[in-house]
Amino acid sequence: MVLDILKRNNLSVTDGRKKILELFLKSDGALEHADIEKFTGETFDRVTVYRTLQTFVDKGIIHHIPTTDNSILYALCKDNCEAGHHHDNHVHFVCEQCNKTICLEDVIVPQVKLPKGFKPSHAEMVVNGICADCK
Amino acid sequence: MVLDILKRNNLSVTDGRKKILELFLKSDGALEHADIEKFTGETFDRVTVYRTLQTFVDKGIIHHIPTTDNSILYALCKDNCEAGHHHDNHVHFVCEQCNKTICLEDVIVPQVKLPKGFKPSHAEMVVNGICADCK
DNA sequence: GTAACTGCAAAATATTTGCATCCTT
DNA sequence: AAGGATGCAAATATTTTGCAGTTAC
Protein backbone atom coordinates (compact mmCIF):
# COMPACT_ATOMS: atom_id res chain seq x y z
CA MET A 1 0.00 0.00 0.00
CA VAL A 2 2.56 2.50 1.17
CA LEU A 3 5.10 0.97 -1.14
CA ASP A 4 2.72 1.18 -4.06
CA ILE A 5 2.23 4.86 -3.60
CA LEU A 6 5.91 5.59 -3.33
CA LYS A 7 6.88 3.46 -6.28
CA ARG A 8 4.12 4.79 -8.44
CA ASN A 9 5.55 8.23 -7.90
CA ASN A 10 9.14 7.27 -8.56
CA LEU A 11 10.23 7.93 -5.04
CA SER A 12 12.80 5.81 -3.32
CA VAL A 13 11.44 3.93 -0.36
CA THR A 14 12.87 5.23 2.87
CA ASP A 15 11.88 4.81 6.49
CA GLY A 16 10.85 8.40 6.85
CA ARG A 17 8.56 8.38 3.87
CA LYS A 18 7.00 5.09 4.87
CA LYS A 19 6.34 6.28 8.38
CA ILE A 20 4.75 9.55 7.36
CA LEU A 21 2.70 7.97 4.63
CA GLU A 22 1.40 5.34 7.05
CA LEU A 23 0.41 8.08 9.42
CA PHE A 24 -1.70 9.68 6.72
CA LEU A 25 -3.29 6.38 5.79
CA LYS A 26 -4.15 5.62 9.40
CA SER A 27 -5.70 8.98 10.09
CA ASP A 28 -9.06 9.50 8.52
CA GLY A 29 -8.63 13.23 8.42
CA ALA A 30 -6.08 15.87 7.83
CA LEU A 31 -2.85 16.38 9.71
CA GLU A 32 -1.28 19.55 10.87
CA HIS A 33 2.40 19.98 10.29
CA ALA A 34 2.91 20.11 14.04
CA ASP A 35 1.13 16.79 14.52
CA ILE A 36 3.31 15.07 12.00
CA GLU A 37 6.40 16.44 13.59
CA LYS A 38 5.30 15.38 17.02
CA PHE A 39 4.65 11.89 15.77
CA THR A 40 7.91 11.50 13.96
CA GLY A 41 9.91 13.75 16.21
CA GLU A 42 11.76 11.05 18.09
CA THR A 43 12.63 9.17 14.98
CA PHE A 44 13.34 11.72 12.31
CA ASP A 45 14.84 15.08 11.97
CA ARG A 46 12.62 18.10 11.78
CA VAL A 47 14.10 18.98 8.44
CA THR A 48 13.30 15.59 6.99
CA VAL A 49 9.66 16.12 7.81
CA TYR A 50 9.66 19.40 5.94
CA ARG A 51 11.35 17.88 2.95
CA THR A 52 9.21 14.78 2.91
CA LEU A 53 5.99 16.73 3.04
CA GLN A 54 7.21 19.02 0.30
CA THR A 55 8.08 16.03 -1.85
CA PHE A 56 4.66 14.52 -1.30
CA VAL A 57 2.96 17.75 -2.22
CA ASP A 58 5.06 18.06 -5.36
CA LYS A 59 4.15 14.56 -6.39
CA GLY A 60 0.49 15.09 -5.65
CA ILE A 61 0.36 12.46 -2.94
CA ILE A 62 -0.88 14.90 -0.35
CA HIS A 63 -2.25 18.40 -0.65
CA HIS A 64 -2.80 21.45 1.46
CA ILE A 65 -6.22 22.03 2.86
CA PRO A 66 -7.33 25.61 3.12
CA THR A 67 -7.90 26.78 6.67
CA THR A 68 -9.31 29.93 8.12
CA ASP A 69 -7.03 29.92 11.08
CA ASN A 70 -3.37 29.97 10.20
CA SER A 71 -2.63 26.33 10.65
CA ILE A 72 -1.14 24.28 7.87
CA LEU A 73 -3.07 21.16 7.11
CA TYR A 74 -2.19 18.35 4.78
CA ALA A 75 -4.37 15.50 3.67
CA LEU A 76 -3.96 12.42 1.58
CA CYS A 77 -7.17 11.68 -0.18
CA LYS A 78 -7.35 8.01 -0.73
CA ASP A 79 -9.42 7.56 -3.83
CA ASN A 80 -7.73 10.21 -5.83
CA CYS A 81 -4.29 9.13 -4.95
CA GLU A 82 -4.97 5.59 -5.94
CA ALA A 83 -6.14 6.82 -9.26
CA GLY A 84 -2.75 8.41 -9.60
CA HIS A 85 -3.88 11.79 -10.72
CA HIS A 86 -4.70 14.08 -7.93
CA HIS A 87 -7.96 15.89 -8.08
CA ASP A 88 -9.16 17.24 -4.82
CA ASN A 89 -12.69 18.26 -5.54
CA HIS A 90 -14.47 17.24 -2.37
CA VAL A 91 -15.54 19.21 0.64
CA HIS A 92 -13.49 19.37 3.85
CA PHE A 93 -15.16 19.45 7.21
CA VAL A 94 -13.60 20.97 10.30
CA CYS A 95 -15.16 19.89 13.58
CA GLU A 96 -15.43 22.65 16.12
CA GLN A 97 -15.55 20.11 18.92
CA CYS A 98 -12.74 17.68 18.30
CA ASN A 99 -10.95 20.03 15.96
CA LYS A 100 -10.30 17.37 13.35
CA THR A 101 -10.46 17.99 9.66
CA ILE A 102 -12.22 15.32 7.69
CA CYS A 103 -12.27 14.72 3.96
CA LEU A 104 -15.84 14.25 2.87
CA GLU A 105 -14.92 12.24 -0.17
CA ASP A 106 -18.52 11.89 -1.25
CA VAL A 107 -19.46 15.53 -1.07
CA ILE A 108 -18.45 17.29 -4.24
CA VAL A 109 -17.75 21.00 -4.22
CA PRO A 110 -20.75 22.60 -5.93
CA GLN A 111 -20.49 24.91 -8.90
CA VAL A 112 -21.28 28.55 -8.33
CA LYS A 113 -22.33 31.22 -10.77
CA LEU A 114 -19.59 33.83 -10.94
CA PRO A 115 -19.84 37.45 -12.05
CA LYS A 116 -19.13 38.33 -15.69
CA GLY A 117 -15.58 37.75 -16.79
CA PHE A 118 -14.52 35.35 -14.07
CA LYS A 119 -13.33 31.99 -15.27
CA PRO A 120 -13.10 29.30 -12.61
CA SER A 121 -10.61 26.48 -12.80
CA HIS A 122 -10.84 24.91 -9.38
CA ALA A 123 -12.77 25.42 -6.18
CA GLU A 124 -12.20 24.57 -2.54
CA MET A 125 -14.81 24.38 0.15
CA VAL A 126 -14.44 24.06 3.89
CA VAL A 127 -17.41 23.52 6.16
CA ASN A 128 -17.18 24.10 9.89
CA GLY A 129 -19.50 22.52 12.44
CA ILE A 130 -19.92 19.41 14.53
CA CYS A 131 -18.85 16.09 13.08
CA ALA A 132 -20.67 12.77 13.25
CA ASP A 133 -18.47 11.46 16.05
CA CYS A 134 -18.92 14.45 18.32
CA LYS A 135 -22.60 14.84 17.83
CA MET B 1 -15.37 56.12 6.93
CA VAL B 2 -12.28 54.82 8.63
CA LEU B 3 -13.18 56.73 11.74
CA ASP B 4 -16.68 55.31 11.71
CA ILE B 5 -15.44 51.77 11.68
CA LEU B 6 -12.98 52.34 14.50
CA LYS B 7 -15.43 54.20 16.68
CA ARG B 8 -18.19 51.71 16.08
CA ASN B 9 -15.91 49.05 17.45
CA ASN B 10 -14.79 51.05 20.46
CA LEU B 11 -11.24 51.31 19.26
CA SER B 12 -9.22 54.41 19.83
CA VAL B 13 -8.23 56.18 16.66
CA THR B 14 -4.52 55.95 16.04
CA ASP B 15 -2.37 56.58 13.00
CA GLY B 16 -1.50 52.94 12.59
CA ARG B 17 -5.06 51.75 12.64
CA LYS B 18 -6.18 54.45 10.26
CA LYS B 19 -3.41 53.65 7.81
CA ILE B 20 -4.03 49.93 7.77
CA LEU B 21 -7.77 50.29 7.57
CA GLU B 22 -7.42 52.70 4.67
CA LEU B 23 -5.24 50.19 2.91
CA PHE B 24 -7.97 47.60 3.20
CA LEU B 25 -10.61 50.00 1.97
CA LYS B 26 -8.52 51.00 -1.02
CA SER B 27 -7.77 47.45 -2.07
CA ASP B 28 -10.67 45.65 -3.58
CA GLY B 29 -9.29 42.31 -2.56
CA ALA B 30 -7.49 40.59 0.20
CA LEU B 31 -4.13 41.43 1.64
CA GLU B 32 -1.36 39.19 2.68
CA HIS B 33 0.33 39.91 5.95
CA ALA B 34 3.57 40.52 4.09
CA ASP B 35 1.92 43.12 1.85
CA ILE B 36 0.58 45.03 4.78
CA GLU B 37 3.93 44.99 6.44
CA LYS B 38 5.67 46.16 3.32
CA PHE B 39 3.22 49.01 2.97
CA THR B 40 3.44 50.15 6.55
CA GLY B 41 7.00 49.06 7.12
CA GLU B 42 8.59 52.49 6.90
CA THR B 43 6.04 54.05 9.16
CA PHE B 44 5.15 51.50 11.77
CA ASP B 45 6.78 48.79 13.71
CA ARG B 46 6.40 45.22 12.61
CA VAL B 47 4.89 44.37 15.96
CA THR B 48 2.25 47.04 15.65
CA VAL B 49 1.08 45.48 12.42
CA TYR B 50 0.65 42.12 14.09
CA ARG B 51 -1.23 43.63 16.98
CA THR B 52 -3.41 45.83 14.83
CA LEU B 53 -4.43 42.97 12.58
CA GLN B 54 -5.16 40.81 15.60
CA THR B 55 -7.29 43.55 17.07
CA PHE B 56 -9.22 43.93 13.83
CA VAL B 57 -9.81 40.20 13.64
CA ASP B 58 -11.01 40.11 17.22
CA LYS B 59 -13.44 42.92 16.55
CA GLY B 60 -14.66 41.33 13.36
CA ILE B 61 -13.48 44.18 11.17
CA ILE B 62 -11.36 41.89 9.05
CA HIS B 63 -11.19 38.13 8.77
CA HIS B 64 -8.86 35.45 7.58
CA ILE B 65 -9.44 34.02 4.16
CA PRO B 66 -8.68 30.36 3.73
CA THR B 67 -5.87 29.67 1.30
CA THR B 68 -4.49 26.51 -0.17
CA ASP B 69 -0.96 27.75 -0.20
CA ASN B 70 0.35 28.73 3.19
CA SER B 71 -0.07 32.43 2.89
CA ILE B 72 -2.08 34.38 5.39
CA LEU B 73 -4.73 36.53 3.85
CA TYR B 74 -6.96 39.09 5.48
CA ALA B 75 -9.92 40.83 4.00
CA LEU B 76 -12.31 43.50 5.05
CA CYS B 77 -15.68 42.88 3.54
CA LYS B 78 -17.41 46.15 3.16
CA ASP B 79 -21.09 45.43 3.43
CA ASN B 80 -20.85 43.17 6.38
CA CYS B 81 -18.64 45.48 8.30
CA GLU B 82 -20.99 48.35 7.78
CA ALA B 83 -23.76 46.26 9.19
CA GLY B 84 -21.65 45.88 12.28
CA HIS B 85 -22.04 42.17 12.67
CA HIS B 86 -19.56 40.24 10.69
CA HIS B 87 -20.87 37.48 8.56
CA ASP B 88 -18.56 36.36 5.87
CA ASN B 89 -20.70 34.12 3.74
CA HIS B 90 -19.56 35.01 0.25
CA VAL B 91 -17.17 33.32 -2.12
CA HIS B 92 -13.54 34.37 -2.51
CA PHE B 93 -11.84 34.29 -5.84
CA VAL B 94 -8.11 33.89 -6.32
CA CYS B 95 -6.80 34.92 -9.71
CA GLU B 96 -4.09 32.67 -11.06
CA GLN B 97 -2.85 35.47 -13.29
CA CYS B 98 -2.57 38.54 -11.14
CA ASN B 99 -2.61 36.55 -7.93
CA LYS B 100 -5.12 38.81 -6.25
CA THR B 101 -7.83 37.57 -3.98
CA ILE B 102 -11.19 39.17 -4.54
CA CYS B 103 -14.29 39.12 -2.39
CA LEU B 104 -17.25 38.20 -4.54
CA GLU B 105 -19.74 39.88 -2.30
CA ASP B 106 -22.67 38.85 -4.45
CA VAL B 107 -21.85 35.19 -4.68
CA ILE B 108 -23.15 33.37 -1.64
CA VAL B 109 -21.54 30.15 -0.51
CA PRO B 110 -23.98 27.41 -1.50
CA GLN B 111 -25.36 24.86 0.92
CA VAL B 112 -24.15 21.31 0.56
CA LYS B 113 -25.73 18.10 1.72
CA LEU B 114 -23.50 16.53 4.33
CA PRO B 115 -23.31 12.90 5.43
CA LYS B 116 -25.44 11.74 8.36
CA GLY B 117 -24.50 13.24 11.67
CA PHE B 118 -22.62 16.26 10.40
CA LYS B 119 -23.96 19.59 11.54
CA PRO B 120 -22.68 22.59 9.63
CA SER B 121 -22.38 26.00 11.20
CA HIS B 122 -20.40 27.94 8.65
CA ALA B 123 -18.85 27.35 5.26
CA GLU B 124 -16.02 28.90 3.30
CA MET B 125 -15.46 28.67 -0.40
CA VAL B 126 -12.48 29.68 -2.50
CA VAL B 127 -12.55 29.60 -6.26
CA ASN B 128 -9.38 29.77 -8.31
CA GLY B 129 -9.21 30.88 -11.91
CA ILE B 130 -8.85 33.98 -14.05
CA CYS B 131 -10.45 37.18 -12.85
CA ALA B 132 -12.41 39.70 -14.89
CA ASP B 133 -9.47 42.09 -15.16
CA CYS B 134 -7.01 39.52 -16.41
CA LYS B 135 -9.30 37.89 -18.88
C1' DG C 1 -5.35 61.44 34.51
C1' DT C 2 -5.99 56.89 33.01
C1' DA C 3 -6.29 53.33 30.05
C1' DA C 4 -4.89 51.92 25.91
C1' DC C 5 -1.47 51.88 22.07
C1' DT C 6 3.22 51.87 20.34
C1' DG C 7 8.20 50.98 19.72
C1' DC C 8 12.12 48.59 20.94
C1' DA C 9 14.59 44.67 22.44
C1' DA C 10 14.60 40.07 22.94
C1' DA C 11 12.70 35.55 23.29
C1' DA C 12 10.41 31.84 21.17
C1' DT C 13 9.01 29.46 16.83
C1' DA C 14 9.09 28.15 12.37
C1' DT C 15 11.32 27.41 7.93
C1' DT C 16 15.18 27.07 4.71
C1' DT C 17 19.87 26.00 3.13
C1' DG C 18 24.59 23.86 2.71
C1' DC C 19 27.22 20.16 3.19
C1' DA C 20 29.02 15.75 4.60
C1' DT C 21 27.37 11.11 5.24
C1' DC C 22 24.44 7.27 4.51
C1' DC C 23 21.01 4.58 2.08
C1' DT C 24 18.31 3.01 -1.99
C1' DT C 25 18.35 1.23 -6.37
C1' DA D 1 28.73 2.88 -8.17
C1' DA D 2 25.61 6.90 -8.50
C1' DG D 3 22.01 9.61 -7.27
C1' DG D 4 19.12 10.74 -4.00
C1' DA D 5 17.74 11.16 1.05
C1' DT D 6 19.02 12.25 5.66
C1' DG D 7 21.07 14.56 9.75
C1' DC D 8 23.29 18.24 11.64
C1' DA D 9 24.52 22.95 12.06
C1' DA D 10 23.41 27.32 11.08
C1' DA D 11 21.22 30.99 8.61
C1' DT D 12 16.58 33.23 7.87
C1' DA D 13 12.14 34.32 8.67
C1' DT D 14 8.08 34.67 11.47
C1' DT D 15 5.50 35.51 15.59
C1' DT D 16 5.10 36.54 20.51
C1' DT D 17 6.12 38.84 24.89
C1' DG D 18 7.63 42.36 28.38
C1' DC D 19 8.24 46.76 29.46
C1' DA D 20 8.86 51.67 29.28
C1' DG D 21 7.36 55.69 26.96
C1' DT D 22 3.66 57.99 24.41
C1' DT D 23 -0.96 59.06 22.87
C1' DA D 24 -6.08 59.14 22.67
C1' DC D 25 -10.04 60.28 25.06
Q: Which residues on B lie below 8 Å from A115 (Cβ)?
A: 104, 106-107, 132
B96-110: pLDDT as tens digits: 888 788 888 888 889
B6-30: pLDDT as tens digits: 998 899 999 999 999 999 988 877 8
Q: How far is the CA of B13 from the C1' of D25 (A)?
A: 10
Q: What is the pLDDT of residue B108?
A: 87
Domains of chain A: 2-129 (1.10.10.10)
Distance separating alpha carbons of residues B106 and A113, to the nearest angstrom: 10
Q: Say whether A126 and B66 touch across the interface (CB within 8 A).
A: yes
Please state the rounded mean pLDDT for residues B109-121. 92
Q: Say whether B72 and A70 touch across the interface (CB within 8 A).
A: yes
Closest CA to A73 of A83, A85, A88, A82: A88
Distance separating alpha carbons of residues B119 and A40, to the nearest angstrom: 33
Burial A98-135 (b: 16+ CB within 10 A, else e): eebbbbbeebebeebebeeebbeeebbbbbbbbbeeee
pLDDT tier, A51 (very low <50, low <70, confident <90, very high otherwise): very high
Q: Which residues on A lie below 8 Å from B110 (Cβ)?
A: 110, 112
**Quick check: A83 pLDDT over 50?**
no
Task: Please give the radius of gyration of chain B, using alpha carbons only, rounded to the nearest integer.
Answer: 16
Strand D reaches within 7 A of the A2 CB: no
**Contacts (Cβ under 8 Å, ≥6 apart) of A39:** A23
Q: How far is the CA of A12 from the C1' of D1 (A)?
A: 17
pLDDT tier, A79 (very low <50, low <70, confident <90, very high otherwise): low
**Quick check: B84 pLDDT over 50?**
no
B55-71: pLDDT as tens digits: 999 988 998 887 777 77
Distance separating alpha carbons of residues B13 and A65, to the nearest angstrom: 37
Q: Is B25 exposed, middle or buried (0-12, 13-18, 19+ CB in 10 A)?
A: middle
Q: What is the pLDDT of residue B88?
A: 65
**Quick check: A81 pLDDT over 90?**
no
Global confidence as pTM: 0.81
